[in-house]
């Protein structure tokens, strides 16, 4: 890993994954679960819970880039637009800075659909793979 290294991967969430996530954490907000309710909102359909959307950062950092052994130290997220089920998004990660001695990296974390940005943030992680 070195400064300016990047990683990207496509992903999507299904409504059944939303239901499981909401059930697991106890978030029964109808904006995520009830199509009839959601039709009456400005979004016109159910939206993904923000932290389900952002969970792709944890999955990607922990499994792909840099991978297993990753420990989160910090994550910021700014939710710019609502995200929807069955839509293909792309997670983009970019190493902004690395402290090789402490094995800590600062990473830009973003989610896009086409050229529109939906989430932007930063993660600070540690991993023995940082050399």
Q: Domains in the chain, start-ordered, CATH in brackets?
A: 6-126 (3.10.129.10)
Q: Write the pLDDT tens digit of every residue in 64-99.
A: 999 999 999 999 999 999 999 999 999 999 999 999
Q: Which two tokens stand for residue 13?
A: 């969430």
**pLDDT value for 1:** 87
> What value does the mean pLDDT of the chain take?
96
Please report, in angstroms and rounded to a whole number, the separation of the first and last CA atoms in the chain. Answer: 7
pTM: 0.92
**pLDDT value for 46:** 97
Half-sphere exposure of residue 30, counting CA atoms within 13 Å on the CB side? 9
- What percent of the chain clears pLDDT 70, i.e. is strictly above it? 100
């Amino acid at each position: 890993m070195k400064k300016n290294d990047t990683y990207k991967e496509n992903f999507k969430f299904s409504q059944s994954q939303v239901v499981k996530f909401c059930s697991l954490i106890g978030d029964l907000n109808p904006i995520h679960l009830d199509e009839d309710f959601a039709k009456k909102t400005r979004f016109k359909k159910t939206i993904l819970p923000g932290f389900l959307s952002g969970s792709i950062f944890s999955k990607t950092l922990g499994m792909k880039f840099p991978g297993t052994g990753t420990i989160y130290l910090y994550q910021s997220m700014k939710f710019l637009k609502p995200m929807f089920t069955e839509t293909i998004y792309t997670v983009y990660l970019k190493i902004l800075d690395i402290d090789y001695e402490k094995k800590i990296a600062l990473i830009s974390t973003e989610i896009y659909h086409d050229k529109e940005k939906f989430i932007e943030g930063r993660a600070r992680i540690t991993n023995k793979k940082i050399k």
